[in-house]
């Protein structure tokens, strides 16, 4: 039987979409779901260490979000233009989304920072993407982006003007972010604090890291009705030797491997052989996980609450079953959990 995207729909009251992070990261609520029995219970994130079995390996995605959203205007015209940088191509050329799209034609010139930085649209590409060239020295471009860019928040988080993004530079980022390259954050990691990490280590949990740079696929809606016809955007990942060794050792001893976030899941599952042995090194993944997928590595998942009809929700349903997940989501809505990037969390085991 063909799975439909509509099978992963649910109704969420708009007021449950979190617009701001909580003052303390680890005070988010935590819905703990047993994927085998379908039972769940309400906790707080600072209680996560009590839920994790000693000897487990917890795997984090240490990618760092860069300020990929730029605000400017069309050269010679008034009115705002918004640019979302997606992927660096070569030199000062970037693949980007430009709004409003009606003015983003080949040859259009854009200015930023009161005209001190300029860019030109070189081409209009598939799915509304633009090839953009910045008119500055290549070695200066990253500094320009850091100076004028703001956090690339998803569209369901509303900010009235660019200045309102200032506090998001710190909060739309995990505390362990290291390697720059993502245009969206691995939001499941937002809830971790040094206090939580210390409690996990004291419990005998080993914490390791990998890097997967999150790209446009996070924003890309599923536009087909048959789930199997959707294609993921490729993303780069790196798994250090220490991480692979820790995972393989834990699996050999029968200890759980717990992924923090769907991006970590995709990296681990992409790097594993059919027996679940994880290979260290760099890779590229277009893996689309939806119900029916057989997991090779991951035994537990820390994740946020995801948008209806999204590939992220499909992955979670593949891990814990669609019925269990949607029932847990119904409970979370009834209990007024906060949803999406700045919202609350789940631990599925």
At 29 the three-state DSSP class reads strand
Q: What is the percent of the chain with per-residue pLDDT over 90, rounded to a whole number? A: 89
Quick one: 128 and 220 in the same domain? Answer: no
pLDDT attached to residue 311:
95
Q: Which of 272, 275, 259 is nearest to 209 (CA)?
A: 259
Quick one: 96 and 208 in the same domain? Answer: no
Q: Which domain CATH number covers 106?
A: 2.40.10.240
For residues 155 and 142, what is the distance between their CA atoms, to the nearest angstrom?
A: 24
At 48 the three-state DSSP class reads helix
Sign of the dihedral defined by the CA atoms of residues 88, 94, 100, 105, in that order: negative
**What are the pLDDT digits (tens) for 104-152?**
899 999 999 988 999 999 999 988 899 999 999 999 999 999 999 999 9
Sign of the dihedral defined by the CA atoms of residues 164, 46, 212, 155, in that order: negative
At 153 the three-state DSSP class reads coil
pLDDT attached to residue 162:
66
DSSP H/E element including 190: none
Q: Which of 287, 331, 325, 322 is nearest to 303 (CA)?
A: 325
Instruction: Please check whether residue 20 lies inside any domain of the structure.
Output: yes
At 168 the three-state DSSP class reads helix
Q: Which domain CATH number covers 238?
A: 3.40.1780.10
Domain total in the chain: 2
DSSP alpha helix (H) spans, the chain: 48-51, 138-148, 168-171, 194-202, 241-252, 262-270, 311-320, 322-334
pLDDT attached to residue 347:
99
Per the structure, the complete domain to which residue 22 belongs is given by 5-65+172-348
Quick one: 337 and 232 in the same domain? Answer: yes
**What are the pLDDT digits (tens) for 265-317?**
999 999 999 999 999 999 999 999 999 999 999 999 999 999 999 999 999 99
Quick one: 59 and 75 in the same domain? Answer: no
List of the chain residues with pLDDT < 70:
1, 162-163, 219
Main-chain phi, psi angles of 300, to 5 degrees: -145, 155
Instruction: Please check whether residue 166 lies inside any domain of the structure.
Output: no
Quick one: 198 and 266 in the same domain? Answer: yes
Instruction: Please check whether residue 203 lies inside any domain of the structure.
Output: yes
Query: Of 116, 149, 182, which one is at a domain's C-terminal end?
Result: 149
For residues 156 and 99, what is the distance between their CA atoms, to the nearest angstrom?
A: 16
Instruction: Please check whether residue 154 lies inside any domain of the structure.
Output: no
Residue indicated by tokens 């003007």: 161
pLDDT attached to residue 42:
98
Instruction: Please check whether residue 157 lies inside any domain of the structure.
Output: no
Quick one: 117 and 59 in the same domain? Answer: no
Q: Are 336 and 18 a contacting pair, CB within 8 Å?
A: no
Q: Are 234 and 285 a contacting pair, CB within 8 Å?
A: yes
Quick one: 104 and 42 in the same domain? Answer: no
Q: Are 68 and 219 a contacting pair, CB within 8 Å?
A: no
Query: Of 86, 117, 149, which one is at a domain's C-terminal end?
Result: 149
Classify residue 128 as left (phi > 0), alpha (psi -120 to 50) or beta: left
């Amino acid at each position: 039987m063909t799975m439909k995207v509509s099978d992963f729909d649910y109704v969420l009251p708009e007021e449950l979409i979190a617009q701001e992070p909580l003052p303390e990261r680890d005070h988010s609520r935590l819905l703990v779901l047993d994927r085998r029995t379908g039972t769940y219970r309400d906790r707080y994130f600072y209680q996560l260490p009590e839920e994790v079995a000693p000897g487990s390996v917890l795997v984090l995605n240490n990618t760092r979000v860069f300020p990929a959203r730029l605000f400017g205007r069309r050269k010679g015209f008034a009115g705002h233009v918004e640019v979302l940088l997606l992927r660096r191509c070569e030199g000062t050329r970037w693949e980007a989304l430009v709004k409003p799209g009606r003015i983003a034609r080949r040859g259009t010139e854009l200015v930023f920072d009161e005209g001190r930085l300029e860019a030109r649209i070189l081409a209009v590409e598939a799915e509304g993407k633009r090839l953009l060239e910045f008119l500055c020295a290549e070695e200066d471009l990253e500094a320009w982006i850091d100076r004028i860019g703001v956090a690339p928040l998803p569209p369901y988080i509303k900010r009235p003007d660019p200045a309102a993004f200032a506090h998001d530079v710190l909060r739309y980022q995990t505390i362990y972010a290291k390697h720059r390259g993502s245009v969206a954050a691995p939001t499941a990691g937002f809830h971790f604090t040094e206090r939580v990490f210390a409690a996990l280590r004291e419990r005998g949990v080993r914490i390791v890291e990998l890097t997967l740079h999150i790209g446009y696929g996070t924003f890309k809606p599923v536009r087909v009705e048959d789930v199997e016809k959707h294609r993921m955007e490729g993303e780069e990942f790196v798994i250090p030797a220490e991480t692979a060794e820790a995972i393989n050792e834990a699996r050999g001893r029968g200890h759980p491997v717990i992924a923090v976030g769907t991006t970590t899941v995709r990296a681990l599952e992409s790097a594993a052989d059919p027996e679940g042995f994880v290979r260290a090194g760099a890779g590229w993944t277009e893996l689309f996980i939806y119900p029916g997928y057989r997991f090779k590595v991951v035994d537990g998942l820390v994740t946020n609450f995801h948008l209806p009809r999204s590939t992220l929700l499909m992955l979670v349903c593949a891990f814990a079953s669609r019925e269990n997940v949607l029932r847990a989501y119904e409970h979370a809505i009834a209990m007024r959990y906060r949803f999406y990037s700045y919202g609350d969390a789940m631990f599925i085991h």
